[in-house]
Amino acid sequence: MADHGYGVCNEPLITHQQASTLTGMYAGDEPVPDPQIPPVEIALLDPSRGCFLADVLFHFSDVVAEYKKAQG
């Protein structure tokens, strides 16, 4: 998994696409609907389009919590 660094809370950050994959939500659904820590809004370079696109980085603990909820 690509390392997008750590937030000010010293927690790993992952992209919307990575969070969707880890939680099993492959469509355009929101992978973490109620994060405990607000997502970080960024612009990521999309090499296929040659421009920056708006995206968010989710905190890893929120993705893990969402995964655990999905597992029951």
Which tens digit of pLDDT belongs to each residue from 31-48? 898 999 999 888 878 788
Helices H, strands E: what count in the chain? 2, 3
- 10 Å CB burial of residue 67 (0-12, 13-18, 19+) is middle
Question: Please, are residues 57 and 5 in contact by the beta-carbon 8 Å criterion?
Answer: no
Residue 23's φ and ψ, nearest 5 degrees, are: -95, 0
pLDDT of residue 17: 85
Distance CA 64, CA 35 (A): 11
Q: Which residue do the tokens 């960024």 mark?
A: 42
pLDDT of residue 1: 37
Could you tell me the pTM of the whole model?
Answer: 0.75
Q: What is the pLDDT of residues 14-37, one digit of tens each?
A: 888 889 988 887 666 788 989 999
